[in-house]
Structures are given as structure tokens and as C-alpha cells.
Amino acid sequence: MQDEKIRVLIVDNIADTRESIQKLLLFDKSIEVIGTIGTAKDAIQMATEKQPHVVLMDINMSDMDGIAATEAMRKKVPFVQVIILSVNDDLNIMRRAMMAGARDFLTKPPDVDQLVEAIHRSHDLAKEEINKMGTVGVAGVSPAGDTIYRSAIFGKVIMIYSPKGGTGVTTLATNLAVTLNSTATNVVLVDGSLQFGDVTVFLNEQPRLSIADLAPRADELDPEIINEVLINHAQTGLRILAAVPRPEMADKITGQQFVKILQFLRRLYHFVIIDTSSYLTEPIIAALDEADLIVLLTTQDIPAIRDTKIFLNLVESFNISKEKLLFVLSKSDKRIPITPEKVSEALKNEVKLEILFDDRTVINSVNRGMPFVLDPKPQPIVRNIMDLADTIRSILISETQTEGEIRG
């Protein structure tokens, strides 16, 4: 099916806009516009009938808002990838679109290169989803919590780590998990800071069960046990595996048990995100090996940079591929003379992304037990998290495709 065209549906309530977008796409012969439509309701109907790979959706439809339409459409046609178009790049709208399962977000009028690139990227994702649907089914747990039957997922394990404590690992892990969790991709957040885990505090949940209830059964896990132990985050539907209730219980969890739990979770969830402590326990070392991606946090100070260097040597001696590391600068602050470029130089590795220093937003969010990405008035730091989520998606998705090509 190599010469199969990319089937695109254009949804906008202004006829002129529909036409001009259609004209833009004429230049790419691999794209076929299979329909243009003016109301969200008709668009959902048409998507169900014509099964496009990609839908270009205006945010302001007269009968239904584009975000609600996205959500409804993905329920009917699970592989469809929606690109939202909006006149302004409002952070609030972008975030809502992402959580509703939209794949991309472009401002109007779209730049033709950007649009075509976004369509191709979305098409890759749609194909991947279609392939998954064709594979043998396994039992899974739906975001709503009930056991369902659906195609096998080979989810990705993402570990957030910093060799220095207090760097912002839990802040990042919780906000990233909430951002990546959508109708398109389900996420489980594992509190791997086993002794003094505080993920449930950050998310305002009270754990009844924890990883201590899974570890002894690591060899005989099934979706029902997992479902029973995971917490359903009330605000977002994110699933959480809580740390042990008392610190002394953490020692009982072996590296092998921890990895078996991660391996089982990755069959049920698209993304398994691990919050970690800097202290290198047996489970953390085992998870470094199991992870597909390690988000390595550092800050603009000498002790943190030194610890990161020591950790990099350790990575080498553990034979962990450096390719898996994604360097992120936490609490990034322009006032500090050690610039991100200098940090990159010192580490001999490029810092790919920054999370701004914003103590007010972070502390308020933690004290309320509400991730700041959910704040109705998003601050610039929210964009940092969304950029990171985007980067992670593109790294891990292109990886899946290469694996698929090798297997095939």
C-alpha cells in the first residue's frame, strides 16, 4: 500500500477558507482531499463514512466547538488525526485541543510548508494506529477504568530523572503525564520515588492501594489486578500507580519486580511515565535499562552540573545507550549567568528544552494539588511542557516506525 494517498477532510464553516486550503494542498500529489464540509455534525458523519487519515478542523464551528468535534470524531474513527486551525495561538485553546486528542495545532492562515508537514506527520500516526488495530487483541483497561478488549499496545516507558534532588522531577512528571493523557493516548504515571513518593500529593489523590500490592504478584499480573490498584485521577482520568505508604516497605520491591510491572503496564498504556528519586535504588537502575526515553533534568548550578556529569559516566558503565537521554534544563532563569548554552557545553550534550523558573505557578499548583497545565489561565511554563510533550511524541513515534520497518 505504498502509493496509498493521504486522505484529508477539510472542516471549516467559511466556504472561501475551505477552498483556499484545498488549493494549497493541490501541490502535494500524495494528498487527496476527500471532502470539504461546513458543519461539525456533518463532518463527524462524513469522517465515519469516508474514514480520512487526517482532518483539518477549524476551532470555531458554528454548531459545535472544534475541540468537542475532535473528541466526538475520534470516538467514531479512532485512527483519525485531527489538526486544529485557529486564528490565534491561544495557549489555553492549544492545551484543550491537545487533551481532546488533537494531533497538531496551526494558526490561520496556515503556512503551506507547515501544513503539509503536519499532514504528513499526522498520516504517519494514522497508519500506525491502523496497523495496531490489525494486530492480535489483548485485554486492556480503558481510561474510564473498565476492562475492555482492544488491540495490543506496545507503549513507551519514559523516565524522568535527575541525579540531584529537588530539581523539579515530580513537577515535570505530573504535568507531563496530564498533558500526554488524552483520548488519543492513555497514560499511567508510576511513582518510582518509592520511599517518599509524593505524586498523589501533587495530584490531590488519596491512595488506597499502591505498588506494594502489585510487586509480590509481579509474575502473575492481569488487567484486573492492575485496574484495582491504579488510582483514577478525578480531574483528568490519568491513571496513577502510587508509591508505598510507609518508607520501610520500599526495600521489599526488587528491580526485577519493578521492571515486570513496567513491562505489563506498557501493554495497556501508550505512555508509562516514571517519577523517580535521585537516589539510585535497585528499581531505579533497572528502570533506566527498561526505559525507552530518559528525560534528564539539570539546573544552572555547579553541583547539579557536576552530578549530571557523574551520572553520564555511570550511564556509560551501565551500558545504557546515550541515545535514550533527553537533556532538559529545569528552573531555567535568564538572570543566572550559566546560560543553557554553557550548561550544554559543560555536559558535552545539548540541552534540548527548558522549563522556565516560575516558583509562584509551581508552588501554587502543588499546594492546591492541581497540575499547572490545567490552570484556566496558563502561564508561559505551560508551553514548555507542551513543547516537551511534542518532542517526546515525535522521538518515540519515529522510533516505533523504524522498529516496525525492521520487523517487517
**Chain residues that interact with ligand ATP, rule: CB under 6 A:** 162, 165-171, 193, 277-278, 330-331, 355, 357-359, 362-363, 366
167 contacts which partner out of ligand ATP, Mg ion, none, CB within 5 to 8 A by kind? ligand ATP
In whole angstroms, give the CA distance from residue 292 to residue 271: 10
Minimum Å gap between C-beta 275 and Mg ion is 6
Q: Which grid cell sits at 388?
A: 516537551
Minimum Å gap between C-beta 196 and ligand ATP is 7
122 contacts which partner out of ligand ATP, Mg ion, none, CB within 5 to 8 A by kind? none
Q: Where are the beta strands (DSSP E) in 233-284?
A: 239-241, 271-276
Q: CB nearer to Mg ion: give 44 or 194.
A: 194
- Going by C-beta distance under 8 Å and a sequence separation of 6 or more, which residues neighbour residue 257? 215, 216, 218, 283
Q: CB nearer to ligand ATP: give 55 or 355.
A: 355
274 contacts which partner out of ligand ATP, Mg ion, none, CB within 5 to 8 A by kind? none
Residue among 187, 177, 182 nearest 99 (CA)? 182
Q: Strand 231-232 to strand 239-241: parallel, antiparallel, or no bridges (unpaired)? A: antiparallel
171 contacts which partner out of Mg ion, ligand ATP, none, CB within 5 to 8 A by kind? ligand ATP
Q: CB nearer to ligand ATP: give 86 or 332.
A: 332
Minimum Å gap between C-beta 174 and ligand ATP is 8
Contact 139, 147 (CB under 8 A): yes
Minimum Å gap between C-beta 375 and Mg ion is 20
Residue among 98, 82, 81 nearest 383 (CA)? 98
In whole angstroms, give the CA distance from residue 149 to residue 95: 29
Q: CB nearer to ligand ATP: give 171 or 181.
A: 171
Q: CB nearer to Mg ion: give 77 or 273.
A: 273
Contact 299, 342 (CB under 8 A): no
Q: CB nearer to ligand ATP: give 316 or 333.
A: 333
121 contacts which partner out of ligand ATP, Mg ion, none, CB within 5 to 8 A by kind? none
Q: State the sign of the Cα–Cα–Cα–Cα dihedral 126, 131, 137, 138.
A: negative
In whole angstroms, give the CA distance from residue 75 to residue 320: 39
Q: CB nearer to ligand ATP: give 171 or 257.
A: 171
Minimum Å gap between C-beta 282 and Mg ion is 18
Minimum Å gap between C-beta 362 and Mg ion is 12
Q: Strand order in 104-107's β-sheet?
A: 31-37, 6-11, 54-58, 81-86, 104-107
Q: CB nearer to ligand ATP: give 140 or 192.
A: 192
In whole angstroms, give the CA distance from residue 161 to residue 233: 23
Minimum Å gap between C-beta 195 and ligand ATP is 10
| Single-letter code of the amino acid located at 399 | E
| Single-letter code of the amino acid located at 39 | T
165 contacts which partner out of ligand ATP, Mg ion, none, CB within 5 to 8 A by kind? ligand ATP
Residues contributing to the site for Mg ion (CB under 5 A)? 169-170
Minimum Å gap between C-beta 381 and Mg ion is 17
In whole angstroms, give the CA distance from residue 288 to residue 53: 35
